[in-house]
Chain A
């Protein structure tokens, strides 16, 4: 079965790459083994929040020159990065995903980092945010003095107390309230399953979000800021807008425990955009048994399709990091399980992780070794028609840097560009 490009993995980088290629006239096939990291999204994308040495970044585009040469952004280069960064909001808009950046741009019109409120009441840098998330201009100054945090009665995945504690430390006077809505109460028949998506489904009904909105409006008299969980607009984010209009104070939506409602919405819309453009998406299937001859991948197989050989001119690996099983660790090695690509990790196992769970973990920075065009190696030999994108790419610790989505989107756009230009 023939495609122009086969992409392994079904998350953010895979879909961005697939949509770009498909819209440029290629026939793409995505093989996705289960759902992906977008389901854990905060509702915002980071480009670069911190340099590897820990220096905070205010304007990512101005900080690129401080990155080491093995960093994926350095491989792409400043000029192309500028193009992709500028292109990103319109690209997502064309897929039905509206993203916004911080209120004030940085030098050269490139985005400056904005700051999103986290479920712990702290502020973290972000590049672009989904409609749910409000980006603040500064991480030191919260422009509100009184906040009301509203949760659904019995919803355990949104810890209003943590938010209140974090904000109080920043001098914001916080009040916590809970609201009961009949249909949401119904979900409590199974308290373990009263989760973000379940509430979001219930809140998709007009009578429910209106009842919720009017209850919050009554509670919010005299408040500057109202903080709500990200459980609205699973199907259509317009509900978020309507709630903002209904409630007189500033309304902020803050992330819940997974699954992420804005993340799932984004994933569904990107997948739809890929399929509408004519792409084929194999859900719940695993890539296995590739054939690599003379430095070229000639075919792969999947668990579901059995003996059918899937052939393409180019192959893209976007199967995720250790958490997504794109990489696996054994007692002595970090391996890439589909092709057995060369990975970058120190041989001394003791240095892989810090026993302090909250400390920076070295293993987060391990990945597949790539050349300047994101082509990997097997046993030191380059594979010419295979490209690696997303969190699997070595050379950066995107969790520490706050660059996960940025690396996913930038490497996807770069590889799509290289494939299309035949480089």
Chain B
């Protein structure tokens, strides 16, 4: 192999075929974005000569990774773009970007006064002020903060029971489970317990994906180093897997840490997984058996989030949800919803964000499912706001469709 001839981000493998641009959701709607080929490998060649060639319009990249999935030459195009932003951008994140990036801090501040915050940010006058003062688009609906977070529930209701299980997993709940959707975490614990696994929490910090998007590089790196260190203790020390319920958290902690933030996670990367992949592997190997309710009925449309397309793990959700008797499952066309984390909140992106997601919204409306299944919370916010259809994390669907007691018996749990 000629490894010595390759740069760390292999831009010289690009053959200029422009296939990446053909699959870029942003370039299709926003003419200000230079497109993945120009922003990635073409620009990198110039930037190596002189940082003067860095273009601040690279910020329009949503980091959906569709360019990398499409590239016939294996170029890490989005990594090129975001590592260039990290190395060369002179843009100093403003208050809005800092607020949006700090999903965990924002959650901690908002939680004690959740009902007030929720009603304030959904009131029209406040939205108008945020629109003008902070460039957060007034048409955007905010996810609702929950007063009682997941961790508090876990400590009070579930933690004591977990010691009884001989097999364990570490649960990376992520910010949205803690602050907005504790039901996802509760569902995770119920399902894991039913299939014979105890759940352990560690001192996690936000995965940092929103910090990467918003250019808070040092902070993102600190989070990456913290999480990787914490995982190292349980992965190499106790041999436990780290299981997430958000595909974006899992993706970021596996691949963005080394590729964009330059944080070495090689000893823990393969142990970071997604709930659906974890459960599927156990079922496929015969270690775990699932017993479903007889009377569960649902017509479900599955939207595979971009980061799960990149991970290549959508097949596990498809397989697991497809196992439920009484479910009719339609796989939606592979299409970005346009939200891309905090991207769709921003006034300058809102219009493009809706335009990117339009084909997906139209397909959902035409199918008229009972609800949509998706592993990503920000896709959920976008789809729920834009279509009115409810979006459920697959683990919530499983918790609902499984006969948990029968499953526990089938797996010889107590």
Q: Which A residues fall within an 8 A CB radius of B?
A: 1, 33-36, 39-40, 186-187, 189-190, 192-193, 195, 197-198, 201, 258-259, 264, 272, 275, 280, 282-286, 302, 304-308, 324-325
Contact = CB atoms under 8 A, between A and B. Distances in A.
Interface stretch (B170-178, B183-191, B304-312): B304-312
Contacts of B69: 34, 283-284
A192 B35 contact: yes
Contacts of B31: 186-187, 189-190
Nearest to B29: A201
A285 B312 contact: yes
B309 A34 contact: no
Nearest to A257: B18
A72 B300 CA distance: 45
B164 interface: no
A39 B22 contact: yes
Given A193-B34, A283-B70, A304-B313, 10 more contacts: A35-B23, A36-B72, A187-B31, A190-B31, A190-B34, A190-B35, A259-B21, A280-B315, A307-B281, A308-B281
10 contacts: A1-B319, A34-B19, A35-B70, A190-B27, A258-B17, A283-B309, A284-B71, A284-B309, A304-B311, A307-B281
Contacts of B34: 190, 192-193
B112 interface: no
Contacts of A325: 72-73
B375 interface: no
Contact of B27 (A34, A193, A280, A304): A193
Interface string B21-37: 11100011001111101
Contacts of A304: 311-313
B412 interface: no
Contact of A306 (B28, B32, B270): B270
Interface in B5-55: 17-19, 21-23, 27-28, 31-35, 37-38, 42
Contacts of A264: 22
B334 interface: yes
* The 10 A-B residue pairs with the shortest CB-CB distance in the complex, in nearest-first order: A304-B312, A284-B69, A193-B35, A34-B72, A197-B22, A189-B31, A259-B22, A285-B312, A192-B38, A35-B19
A193 B26 CA distance: 12
B74 interface: yes
A306 B316 CA distance: 13
A289 B271 CA distance: 19
Contact of A189 (B23, B32, B73, B333): B32
Given A34-B73, A275-B331, A324-B72, A283 B22 contact: no
A113 B393 CA distance: 54
A20 B394 CA distance: 32
Interface string B161-202: 000000000000000000000000000000000000000000
Contacts of B37: 192-193
A201 B358 CA distance: 14
A308 B21 CA distance: 32
A307 B73 CA distance: 24
Contacts, number: 96
B94 interface: no
B21 A283 contact: no
A305 B33 contact: no
Contact of B68 (A1, A39, A259, A284): A284
Nearest to A191: B38
B3 interface: no
A259 B17 contact: yes
Contacts of A39: 17, 19, 22, 72
A283 B312 contact: yes
B12 to A, nearest CB: 15
Helix, strand, loop or mixed for chain A's interface?
A: loop
A36 B296 CA distance: 41
A33 B31 CA distance: 29
B284 interface: yes
A264 B68 CA distance: 17
Which of B72, B309, B311, B315 has the most chain A CB atoms inside 10 A of its CB?
B72
A258 to B, nearest CB: 5
Contacts of A258: 17-19
A308 B282 CA distance: 11
A305 B72 CA distance: 19
Contact of B284 (A282, A284, A285, A308): A308
B27 A198 contact: yes
A352 to B, nearest CB: 18
Given A1-B284, A197-B21, A259-B17, A282 B315 contact: yes
A195 B28 CA distance: 11
A304 B307 CA distance: 12
A54 B226 CA distance: 66
Given A193-B35, A193-B38, A284 B17 contact: no
A308 B331 CA distance: 22
A189 B34 CA distance: 8
Given A189-B31, A304-B311, A308-B284, A284 B21 contact: no
A40 B17 contact: yes
Contacts of A33: 72, 74
A272 B363 CA distance: 14
B39 to A, nearest CB: 9
Contacts of A283: 69-70, 309, 312, 334
A195 B21 contact: yes
B72 A284 contact: no
A40 B31 CA distance: 24
Contacts of B68: 284
Interface string B329-340: 001011000000
Given A198-B28, A304-B311, A193 B70 contact: no
B312 A305 contact: yes
A284 B70 contact: yes
A307 B270 CA distance: 9
Contacts of B313: 304-305
A195 B70 contact: no
A349 B19 CA distance: 32
Among A35, A193, A282, A324, which residue has the most Cβ atoms of chain B within 10 A?
A: A193
Given A193-B27, A264-B22, A285-B312, A34 B71 contact: yes
A275 B22 CA distance: 21
Contacts of B27: 190, 193, 198
A193 B18 CA distance: 8
Given A190-B38, A283-B309, A284-B309, A259 B71 contact: no
Identify which of A36, A39, A275, A284 gathers the most chain B CB atoms within 10 Å of its CB.
A284
Contacts of B334: 283
A190 B34 CA distance: 6
A280 B284 CA distance: 17
Nearest to B311: A304
Contacts of B22: 39, 195, 197, 259, 264
Nearest to A34: B72
Contact of B33 (A190, A195, A197, A284): A190
Interface in B278-317: 281, 284, 309-313, 315
Contacts of B310: 284
A1 B27 CA distance: 37
Contacts of A1: 284, 319
Contacts of B312: 282-285, 302, 304-305
Nearest to B31: A189
Contacts of B18: 195, 197, 258-259
